Every structure is written in structure tokens, then in C-alpha cells.
Chains A and B, each alone.
Chain A
């Protein structure tokens, strides 16, 4: 009789202890989703999303306080990856508005102050003191950090033009647009 009463409390104590131990052993610091999202973000700390860097931005996305479309340099590709990670549907129509752009330096205006060169988070600008600077378009994220600091305003953000390699057919107009039926 006593045994059958004790068996339940004893089991309870043992399981509680095991759970408590496991909680300490497998404890996770911070939100794991945040680390995964930070992994996806460009990491250029450009601040275009309005957060002080990629880490706070990732925290905000992980807590669903910021939309997955927050990162302009990441563009549509990143937004889709983030949406997949967060398991949310995303409306990408708004993202099309800002076409991807890269910096371009007007060489005749550049005085070689190296200000942009020092700020570029991806080393996309080459040049030296009192030397003309130039942008590697392939490495530029279009974060506009250089655009803001140039004292002679010689940097222009140019939309990325399609080339023969990157051009592709647009979606054919559907039934509704073609006015048939």
C-alpha cells in the first residue's frame, strides 16, 4: 500500500531531476534562429535597414519585429531565403521598386581622398591617396556608404544594366492581359 503511494512521488522526483539536469546541459544561449538569420544576411553592417548592424537586424527578424524584406543589398534572393527560414509568406512586389544599383565613380571629379575606399565594407573600391578610385561592380552591394561620404559628389549609384549573359525573356502576358476570351 505504502509502496504504491510512494512510487508515483519517487518517479516524479527522479524525472524532475532529470529534466532539470537536461535543461542545464542542453541550454541554448540566445535565439538560435537569430544566428541562422545572421548567417544569411550580408554582414556589411551598412545600416540601410534602420538597425545599427546586421546582428540587431537578425534579432529583429527572428522575433518577427522586422519584415523579411528589410535588407536592400540582399534583394529578392535574400528576402525569399529569409521567408523560407521564417516560414512566412512574403509579398515581393514591393521589393521590385528599388532596382539593384552599384556605385560608379566619375573619374574626372575624383580627388583621391580615400574616404570611400576606407568605408567600403566589401573592398569593392580600389585606389590610393591622390589616385583615381574605381569600383569593382561585381563586388559592390549598393550599400551607398561611399555615396554619402564623397566630398566631391563624384559617386553615382547606377542601376545594374542587363548584359547578354544576364538578360532573359520576360514572363509572357497571360490571358487576362492579352485581352482574349
Chain B
């Protein structure tokens, strides 16, 4: 198949060999699970259980609220110990509403978890509904509710489903292992998603640095004529949705648009496996594969973990730290987020846990920009990071938007390539957050204005109604007075 070139990109040392040969192992049940109500982009889920309640594995714990949201299910059977704040799996270290579940060790499935007998004769709506009910979100890290993406066919003319098996982030091997060990489950999940989207063409893209996964998927795909396995050149950020589509289809996604604008929907490998589990076996998304790696970890592993398991359990299972890690990262080293502590739970979007030793971290002191242009040549979006940083440092966020800040995908290639160790992508993340905060403030301003106007209008109406009532009463009184006077005049006349 003909592939198209994308611009820029870097070739970091992938260091996948640390965990690539480790088969997926099931982590033993932890004594407590902390299940956050917000594990996805969108509105947090609303809890349906109370403290002390007994729940069974797969039971709905919190339902989704609003259009873009996802429900949360019990990862195992046990008792709900409480609902309250707990540190989130997030760089900020803020706490988030979390359900605490004490497993009873029986691991009994709820009666509601029943698989479909004939999944491939289900209607697209039915598939999308089941995916929504199973709480499946994009498991590549973005955690966007998958059912929303499966329902895009109403609004866009779709022709291709792309499955993202690039796993271009260094270190991570969870998708690689999943494709090697469960190729048929992944394939079925992919075909179910293709059915839900109503597309005939399915491209399954895997980077060429994973020959075993490519071979396993090729072997499994022979039974499906529509499914084409594509080997991709190894380059970061090949797994970026827009760049992957451009490589495969040759079309660029419009700026700040969706890949659906050019008729393509992208889903992750792990999401496909989760869709298969949800529809064929009726199992909601309650576990995932996490790569625990980095030179600070004694025995790097790929673990199959229940959602809500504290990270220190994973580290303990992997033999603990062989040296004090200088950095703890959730996700890959390029786009992952630093974690404030190991107490935080595994969530639906956590694909990796990296404990990096001092030898793996490039912590050079920042030097002035020498305008070498390395960042410009590696930027996959065709931006000029050095100018954008200069405007952000000068506090001119508007100018950086004109330079294309909102087209930046935050891949970090610029910061990786910079010989002066300038934290380029960190500036862009700050600027994007600041701009979003601005927009929220302006939106609030507008809403408040609307509220004030509504109140003023209501107060005026009440005032008018009161005046009206006063006038009416006055008129009534006047009328009565006039009548009385008339009567008095009449009686006076009669007596005369």
C-alpha cells in the first residue's frame, strides 16, 4: 500500500526492549480500589451507589451525565467504603470525587453482564449503545468517550476506519503485547466498530518496529477481506491521529477540525479489544493493560490491572524501585504527564507508568535560543516553535495564536530536539491552558450578563404588576366612593 510522507518528527531511542518481551500478567486483587468518577473527557459520572452497599463485578456504579460522558462500573465484587475526594491521576495533584471499593475476594460477575449471541448481526445503533453503556473511552490516553465517535456517521460521510496500533511513544509496549496475545479479540472489536460506523474500509496501522504484532495481526486478519494491516515507518509522532490519517490516506485534516471531516475515524487497539469484551461477553471497561517500565523499575512488566488499583501496587509487583526514580510519568515519556505520587489509582486512560532513572532524563540547564531551527524542522505541524515561545514569554498570547499555537498537538518533538534545552512544549501547554481559562472567563461574563438582564426584567415586571394592582384598587375605591356619594345624594333627594 502506498504511504504518504508527513513532515518533521523525531527518532527517539524507543527503549521498548525493557518490557517488550514480558507477557501480560494479571495483577492480584489489591486490598482497596479507588475508582474516580472522572476518568474521561467531559462531565464526571453521577454515583448511583451509597456507602456500605455491596456491589458485584461489572455493576454500574455511576452513570454518565450529559452528551459527552462515560459511566463507571465495579472492577470486582465487594463493598463500597465511601465516596469522597481522593488524589487524581493527574499532574496537578488535585483531588477528585472517587468511589472506594473493598474487594470481597469472590470476584463475582453481576447478572447484568450478558454478552450478545450474534454480535455481527446487531444494528449500528445497538453496538454504539452497548459501547456507551460499557463506559468505553479512548484507551490510547485521550479518554474521549468512544460511543460519541461511533455515532459520527449521522453527521459526516465516513469511508474509512483507522486503527491506531502505532504506539510511537518510546517505552510503551501494552498495545504491542495486546496485539500479539489477543489478535482475534482485537480484530473482532475492530470489525464491530467498522459495522457501527458503516464503513467498508478498515486500515490497521502498526509501526514496523513491532514485527511480532504485525505478524500476529496479519495472520488473524486473513479471515476478514475488508481489514488491511499496514506497516508504518517508525517515527515519532506517527501515532498522532491527524498524522496517522495523513500517512495512510494522503489528506490533511483541516486546522482545528476532526479527522471525520475527511471521512476517517481513528480508534486505538486497546479500545477495539474493550469493544469486543463489551459486546461479545457483556463486560464493561473495568480493567486495562498497563506497561510498568523505566530503568528505575527492577522488573519491567506489562500488567493487566483493574481500574482503581493504586500505582504503588503495580510498582510493588514489579519488584519495586532498584534506584530512586527522578521522575514518575503516566503515559509515554514524550507526551505523558508527571505524577505527584504513587498513591493515585490506575484509570481508563493510563497506558504506561514510567519510573525514569537519572540516566534516562535529559535535565540540562536551559540556554538561550540560538535560532538553529531544529524545532522548526522537526515540528510535524509545520509551525515555528521558537517564535511561538518568544511571543508567549513576552505575554502576547494572541500573537502566538496567529502563529498557530492552536494547531500544535503538544507532541514535544521541539523540546526533544532543542539543543538549548528550552522547554518549548511546556510553554505551549501553559499558553493553551491560559487561553482556555480566558475563554471560560469570557463565557461566564456573558452568562452573568444574561442572568442580570433576566433578573432586571423580572423585577421590572413585578414592579409594573404592583403598580397596576394599585391603580386598579384605587379605581375600585374611587368607583365605590362615587357610588356612595350618588346613593347619599339620592337618599337626600328622596327625604326632601
Selected from A77, A169, A178, the residue in CB contact (under 8 A) with B445 is A77
Inter-chain contacts of B408 with A (CB < 8 A) = none
- The complex places the Cα of A28 from the Cα of B449 at a distance, in Å, of 26
A64 within 8 Å of B by Cβ? no
Q: Which of B133-141, B157-165, B275-283, B436-444 contacts A (4 or more CB under 8 A)?
A: B436-444
- The complex places the Cα of A171 from the Cα of B96 at a distance, in Å, of 24
Inter-chain contacts of B367 with A (CB < 8 A) = 175, 180-181
Given contacts A162-B92, A180-B367, contact A169 B429 (CB under 8 A): yes
| Central interface residue in B429, B445, B449, by most chain A CB within 10 Å | B445
Q: Is the CB of B92 within 8 A of A141?
A: no
Selected from A138, A167, A180, the residue in CB contact (under 8 A) with B94 is A167
Q: Which of B121-129, B236-244, B251-259, B452-460 contacts A (4 or more CB under 8 A)?
A: B452-460
- The complex places the Cα of A110 from the Cα of B379 at a distance, in Å, of 58
Q: Is the CB of A122 within 8 A of B451?
A: yes
Query: When A and B form their complex, what is the total count of cross-chain residue pairs whose Cβ atoms lie within 8 Å?
Result: 83
Given contacts A74-B445, A162-B94, contact A175 B366 (CB under 8 A): yes
> Which chain A residues numbered 98 to 139 have a C-beta less than 8 Å away from chain B?
121-124, 138-139
Q: Is the CB of B448 within 8 A of A164?
A: no
Inter-chain contacts of A78 with B (CB < 8 A) = 445
Q: Is the CB of A42 within 8 A of B429?
A: no
Q: Is the CB of B427 within 8 A of A171?
A: yes
Inter-chain contacts of A94 with B (CB < 8 A) = none
- The complex places the Cα of A166 from the Cα of B448 at a distance, in Å, of 19
A67 within 8 Å of B by Cβ? no
Q: Nearest CB to that of B453 among chain A residues? A: A43
A30 within 8 Å of B by Cβ? no
Q: Nearest CB to that of B433 among chain A residues? A: A168
A31 within 8 Å of B by Cβ? no
Selected from A44, A73, A169, A181, the residue in CB contact (under 8 A) with B430 is A169
Taking the closest CB of chain A, its distance from the CB of B154, in whole angstroms, is 27
Majority secondary structure, B binding face: helix
Selected from A138, A170, A172, the residue in CB contact (under 8 A) with B444 is A138
Q: Nearest CB to that of A76 among chain B residues? A: B441
| Central interface residue in A168, A170, A181, by most chain B CB within 10 Å | A168
Q: Is the CB of A172 within 8 A of B430?
A: yes
A9 within 8 Å of B by Cβ? no
A87 within 8 Å of B by Cβ? no
B66 within 8 Å of A by Cβ? no
A174 within 8 Å of B by Cβ? yes
Q: Is the CB of B88 within 8 A of A169?
A: no
- The complex places the Cα of A174 from the Cα of B451 at a distance, in Å, of 42
Query: Using an 8 Å CB-CB cutoff, how does the interface string of B287-313 with A read, 1 for contact, 0 for none?
Result: 000000000000000000000000000
Q: Is the CB of A42 within 8 A of B445?
A: yes
B494 within 8 Å of A by Cβ? no
Q: Is the CB of B441 within 8 A of A168?
A: no
A75 within 8 Å of B by Cβ? yes
Inter-chain contacts of A164 with B (CB < 8 A) = 38, 88, 90, 92, 94, 96
- The complex places the Cα of A42 from the Cα of B91 at a distance, in Å, of 34
Majority secondary structure, A binding face: loop
A4 within 8 Å of B by Cβ? no
Inter-chain contacts of B365 with A (CB < 8 A) = 178, 180
Q: Is the CB of A169 within 8 A of B426?
A: yes
| Central interface residue in A121, A163, A169, by most chain B CB within 10 Å | A169
Q: Is the CB of A75 within 8 A of B433?
A: no
- The complex places the Cα of A175 from the Cα of B441 at a distance, in Å, of 30
- The complex places the Cα of A44 from the Cα of B456 at a distance, in Å, of 9
Q: What is the interface size of chain A, counting residues whose CB is below 8 A from a CB of the partner? A: 33
Taking the closest CB of chain B, its distance from the CB of A72, in whole angstroms, is 13
Given contacts A77-B438, A166-B440, contact A44 B452 (CB under 8 A): yes
Q: Nearest CB to that of B456 among chain A residues? A: A43
B250 within 8 Å of A by Cβ? no
Query: Using an 8 Å CB-CB cutoff, how does the interface string of B403-428 with A read, 1 for contact, 0 for none?
Result: 00000000000000000000100110
Selected from B434, B448, B454, the residue in CB contact (under 8 A) with A42 is B448
Taking the closest CB of chain B, its distance from the CB of A38, in whole angstroms, is 11
Inter-chain contacts of A162 with B (CB < 8 A) = 92, 94
Q: Is the CB of B366 within 8 A of A180?
A: yes
Q: Is the CB of A172 within 8 A of B423?
A: yes
Q: Is the CB of A168 within 8 A of B448?
A: no
Inter-chain contacts of B423 with A (CB < 8 A) = 172
B107 within 8 Å of A by Cβ? no
Query: Using an 8 Å CB-CB cutoff, how does the interface string of A45-76 with B read, 1 for contact, 0 for none?
Result: 00000000000000000000000000001111
- The complex places the Cα of A163 from the Cα of B447 at a distance, in Å, of 20
- The complex places the Cα of A123 from the Cα of B451 at a distance, in Å, of 7
- The complex places the Cα of A181 from the Cα of B455 at a distance, in Å, of 58
> Which chain A residues numbered 5 to 44 have a C-beta less than 8 Å away from chain B?
42-44
Q: Is the CB of B393 within 8 A of A174?
A: yes
Sample (8) of A-B pairs whose CB atoms are under 8 Å apart: A164-B88, A164-B90, A168-B434, A171-B427, A175-B366, A178-B365, A180-B366, A181-B367
Given contacts A121-B452, A139-B447, A171-B427, 16 further A-B contacts (CB under 8 A): A42-B445, A76-B441, A77-B442, A78-B445, A122-B455, A139-B451, A166-B437, A168-B437, A169-B426, A169-B433, A170-B430, A171-B430, A172-B423, A178-B366, A180-B365, A180-B367
Please list the residues of chain B having a beta carbon within 8 angstroms of any beta carbon in chain A.
38, 88, 90-92, 94, 96, 365-368, 392-393, 423, 426-427, 429-430, 432-434, 436-438, 440-442, 444-445, 447-449, 451-456
Q: Which 3 A-B pairs have the closest CB atoms?
A: A168-B433, A77-B441, A180-B365
